[in-house]
Amino acid sequence: MLYQCNIVRARINAIDDLRPSRQTKPRIDERSNQLTTPIKAELEAQNAKSGKEPASISYEVLQVALNRHQLAEAELAPLERKLLQIRNSLDQLWHDAPPSPNAGQEREGDMARSEKSIKLWNKVAAAGRERKARLEAMSASYNISAGLAQELSWINEKLLVLEKTAKQARETATARNLQLAQRLCKNYETLANEVDGHNPLWENIKHSAEQLLGSSRDQPAESRSTIKRQLDATSSAWDRLRAEMAKRKADLDECLESAQFYADAEEAKRWIQEKVTLIETAGILTKPLESRNDLDRALKYCGANSSATMVRKIPHLNSLF
């Protein structure tokens, strides 16, 4: 008799957990409200939005909604295990219970309430997953949009640098100044290395944007069109940057070649003037060279490098002689 009383008492305790007025259903309903109902700021955005498109909410509001959703999700998950434990306990209790006239009907009622609670949990969990997917899709679009905006800003900065130095790379004064031309070339190499190093980051952002636009994730049409415009604008900016970089390299290569030519010409001029001064000072040209000794003496004053040797050292000056 005592055994039967304990069985009945355990059955009653288990059934109490399944009754709507007890713990399980109110907790599921509370999590359902947090998992499926927009927060206040979302509702305000929806009320302010006209038309049928989903409302645009700020990134801050989106993060608050995601944080609340994740907390509710973490609180809902353990309830599934509890519901399954209760169902199994009820099943075991009825299996061990002594026979009674209404046992079959009561067991069916208990198990029906148990299954109803489990179905409610599954329904809430599915709705929560659906809303989470929408929130995460919106978060992804915000992140990609922000990345594209930063990328476009970075490109515009580099284009501005190229624009500010474009005139100097084409000036005649630069083409005649080897040190200045070399400094501009070095600055260009630094910029080119920075652009090359940044390119993988752009490829990642571009791939993410294209993947998002090509996916079936729930995205507001406004967000998709915004990202599409940003992607097109940033891609065009990259094309322009690469074209400007190639043009600048060609200008600097030509400038450096010209500056090197003028530097070599100036060196040759100094060398010639130095030899002329030595010859004039020695008085070698005041009388004809009458002997081999006179010629050797003249070459000695000219130094180790003859004019022919100087020309061979500076190929660009061949046309001057």
CATH number at residue 16: 1.20.58
CA 207 to chain centre: 9
The pLDDT of residue 206 is 93
* CA–CA distances in Å: residue 210 to residues 139, 207, 224, 300: 16, 5, 10, 75
Instruction: Give the pLDDT of residue 9.
Output: 56
159 within a domain of the structure (yes/no): no
What pLDDT is stored for residue 266 in this prediction? Answer: 82
CB 187 within 8 A of CB 252: no
113 falls within a domain? yes
**Structural domain contains residue 320:** no
Q: Which two tokens stand for residue 261?
A: 């030519």
pLDDT of residue 196 exceeding 70, the answer is yes
Residue 319 lies in a domain: no
Q: What is the reported pLDDT for 21? A: 39
Classify residue 46: in a domain, yes or no: yes
| 172 occurs within a structural domain | no
Query: Quick check: is 216 in a domain?
Result: no
Tally of domains within the chain: 1
Identify whether 40 is part of a domain: yes
Q: Average the pLDDT over each of 55-59, 174-178, 199-203 and give the range with the smallest value.
A: 55-59
pLDDT tens, position by position, 253-305: 999 998 888 888 888 888 878 877 777 776 666 666 666 676 666 666 666 55
Query: Does position 240 have pLDDT exceeding 60, yes or no?
Result: yes
Mean pLDDT of 107-127: 81
Structural domain boundaries enclosing 115:
2-136
Statement: residue 176 has pLDDT above 90: no
